Every structure is written in C-alpha cells, then in structure tokens.
A and B are shown apart, each in its own frame.
Chain A
Amino acid sequence: MTNHQEPGVQDLLHRATGDLSPDVETLVAGGIARGRTRRQRRRVGTAIASVAAVGVIGAGAVVVPQLFGDASTPARGARGADENRQVASAPEVRAQRALIPTDQMEAVVRRLLPAGLAVTGLSVRFDRADPKSPAHRINFTVDGASVSIYIDQYNPQWRLDKGYEPITIDSECAQSSSCEQADDGSYLRKESRVPQWGEGMGPANQVSNDASFWGVDGYRFYSMALNTGAEKGSGGIVAVEPPLTSEQLATIISSDLWYR
C-alpha cells in the first residue's frame, strides 16, 4: 500500500468508480476476439516478412494462404485505392533520414504553406507525454481556423513488447478508400470528413480535411485542417470549409523539407 498525502482523493476515486458495473462477459469476449485478430495479423506479417527476406515474394501469394487456411486474414495487396486492400504492416524503413531540428520546423511549415494565408499562432512542440514515443505537434490557425500537424515514428517491435498499440497501415487505410501507396513504398491518405469527438465535444457543422503520410524514413505524419477555431470544445465555426484542402495538406506533410 502506498502512503498517500491525499487520502480523500483516493477515497473520491474509489467512490466515483466503485459502483460501475461493466458488462464483463461482453468486454472479455470482445477482448479475446480482438486479440485473436491481432495475433493473426502478427503471424501474417511475420510470414510475409520471412518470405520477403529470402526474396521469394512470388511464392508468398501461395504460401501465406496455405499457412492460415481459408478462414485466416488474407495478406492482401498493398497498392492502389481498392477498398479490399489490406496492408500487413507499415512501409519498410529504408535509409532513414533524420527529421530537421524542432526549431526549424516553423520555417518549413511557413515555406510549405500556400502563399497569402493569414497564419497566426504557429507553434511547434516536442511532446513527451508518451515517454517512449515522443512526437512533434505543430499547431496554427489560418484565418482563425485550426490546423495541426503531428509527427511520430511507427511500428518498431518494442511497441508490441511494451504493450503499445502497434502502428500498422491497415488500421488507418482499411477505413479509407483514399489511401494509396507511392512507388517509393510510402503511403498517403487524403480525405474530408465530419470529425466525431463524442460526448458533444465538437461543435455542430464542424468539418475536417485530413492527410496522413507514412514515409519510408519511418515517420508518420498526420495533418488536419478544420473549419473551427479549435479541435473540440471552444472555438466555434469560423468558416464553411477548412482553410486547407487535403491535397494541400498532403503536399505539406510529404515534403522532403522535413528531413535533414
């Protein structure tokens, strides 16, 4: 037991949650189902990596289905915007370039933005909220509307070992018909949508243009332009449409200027 300075807070947390009664049976069944899917994906990913390592890519189409039978998750092709596409893992990291220093990112953002925009409040923060996976967060407004860019690394094995959510392309692209692979192996997703923050946290009529980029340097970029002054809560609608299109965001986040 710990020696808390605030026994009242400990009691408060216990009282606030002590009578919560989750549907344990449903949660356990759901957890096991997700776990089986996750395990199967890892096996498929490992099988594909093994096949690729010995240069027998052509044999993979034959070997992988035989390994897992008809009921298994197939290793679907990665290229194109086919909604049946599924990718087993993130792009292979090749000759990873380092990102530019944090203090140079503001200048890069300004250089990549279309000319003539009224940009205010541009901030770049190196966020260590997750100590094992720090990320850059870039926020600014254009004509009062919120734009954000987020950069971190994807898919190292330790994410799984540490109990982190594994970052795979299919978890993002499977939900989008607009995720495509470029010739260099990187992936780019562009879409417009209505954000759903839940619990009434987002303003009504809020819309978002998004772009995500998984580069072969091992970094993933998310970008989002809203027609509101903030992502959720306060901020309100400031325009009918976000100030940047998904295409413009995609151009920004896939630029070589982000690397040394």
Chain B
Amino acid sequence: MSKDQEFEEFAVLRTPHLYRTAWLLCGDAHRAEDLVQDTLAKVYVRWTRKLGRRLENPAGYAHTALVHTWIDHQRRRSSHERPVGELPEQGTPDGDPSLRLSLAAALDALDPMDRAVLVLRYLDDVSVAEVADRLGVSPGAVRNRSMRALSRIRDVLGTSLPDLLIP
C-alpha cells in the first residue's frame, strides 16, 4: 500500500472525530470543515515525507495539529479574515441544534486555550499530562484552565446547565 493510500485510510477513519473536535472549537460547521481540511493537509505532508521517522501516534499528531491550527487561526482571525462575495450557505444542522447552539454560545465565551483544554479533556478524553504536553503548558496550568473553563461555562449557561446535562 502506498503512503497516499495509507494516509487516506487513516483520514477516512479519523475525520469524523476530528470534525467533532473542530466543531466544538469553531462553533460552526463551515469553519470546522475548513479546520479539518487544514489539519489533514498538515498530517498528509508529515505522513508522506520521504525522510524522517514514521508517525508513532498519527491520531494524536492530527489532534495536536488541529488544536494548534485553530489557536493560530484564532490569533490571526480578527486581523486578516477575508471578505467573501456572498455569505456561504448554512450547514444543515444534525441532531439537536438547540443544544449545540447553547453550547457553542457558552464555548465562545471562553479564552481559546481554555476552550482547547476543555475540548481535549472532555470530548477527546485526554489526560491532564497529555493535554499539557500537546499544548506546551504545565499540568497545573491545564487544571487551572479546565476549572476556569467549567466555571465560565456554568456562568454563561446559568440555570440551563442542569437542563442540558439531562439526556
């Protein structure tokens, strides 16, 4: 199997999870799709590199690349987003749009790093130590950011949090 075929196989399996993470980071379908494609592009370049070792943990590498790419986008977004001729169509909502809307609004209130910590820990189920390693911060900072993010989420959602937590 060629490297391209190997990558495609990996990407097809991993993209749904990457997209869920991207959606929670971006809060909308179009930006999430863009983020996933940028991430896959980076992993593709690394995967098909002729020199150097093979990726030991491609899934972890992909998720780290996704979060870093998103943080980088966040830093630069306000300064160079490009105008478009027409507004893109809204993505077709799946499942429970009101739940996602409430959650997206709450996540938007978070500092980007706090949001990344929250998503990595609670969606991707990554340990504190690994989140710290992926984001280049200390485990203590991850715990602090995690607590701050949860507190902020509670503040923003207010009394609706218990409702949202009930399936």
Contact = CB atoms under 8 A, between A and B. Distances in A.
Contacts of B150: 5-6, 9
A87 B99 CA distance: 45
Interface string A108-135: 0000000000000000000101111101
Contacts of A6: 122, 150
B30 to A, nearest CB: 7
Contact of A164 (B33, B68, B111): B68
B6 interface: no
A210 B36 contact: no
A11 B75 contact: no
A194 B15 contact: no
A34 B38 contact: yes
A156 to B, nearest CB: 13
Contacts, number: 200
Contact of A150 (B39, B79, B96, B137): B79
B158 interface: no
Nearest to B47: A35
A226 B7 CA distance: 43
Nearest to A2: B127
B81 interface: yes
A21 B29 CA distance: 10
Interface string A127-153: 101111101000000000000101010
A12 B123 CA distance: 9
Nearest to A162: B68
Interface string A73-111: 000000000000000000000000000000000000000
A222 B65 CA distance: 24
A34 B99 contact: no
A212 to B, nearest CB: 7
Contacts of B95: 16, 18-20
**Size category of the binding interface on chain A:** 35 or more
Contacts of B80: 172, 210, 212, 222
Interface stretch (A23-31, A55-63, A64-72, A238-246): A23-31
Q: Is the interface of A mostly helix, strand, loop or mixed?
A: mixed
B30 A198 contact: yes
Given A6-B150, A20-B23, A195 B48 contact: no
B41 A2 contact: no
Interface string B49-77: 00000000000010011001101111110
Contact of B94 (A12, A20, A131, A195): A20
A135 B77 CA distance: 13
Interface in A202-260: 210, 212, 222-224, 231-232
A157 to B, nearest CB: 13
Given A31-B36, A38-B42, A163-B64, 20 more contacts: A6-B150, A9-B150, A9-B153, A12-B165, A17-B20, A18-B20, A20-B23, A32-B8, A33-B41, A34-B37, A35-B41, A129-B71, A129-B74, A130-B71, A152-B75, A162-B68, A165-B72, A165-B73, A210-B79, A212-B79
26 contacts: A5-B150, A9-B118, A10-B125, A11-B165, A12-B103, A13-B123, A19-B94, A20-B16, A22-B16, A31-B36, A32-B40, A32-B44, A37-B41, A42-B45, A129-B113, A130-B71, A132-B68, A150-B79, A163-B65, A163-B69, A164-B68, A165-B72, A165-B73, A212-B80, A222-B76, A224-B78
The 10 closest A-B pairs by CB, nearest first: A31-B40, A35-B44, A163-B65, A19-B95, A34-B41, A222-B79, A35-B41, A17-B20, A8-B165, A22-B19
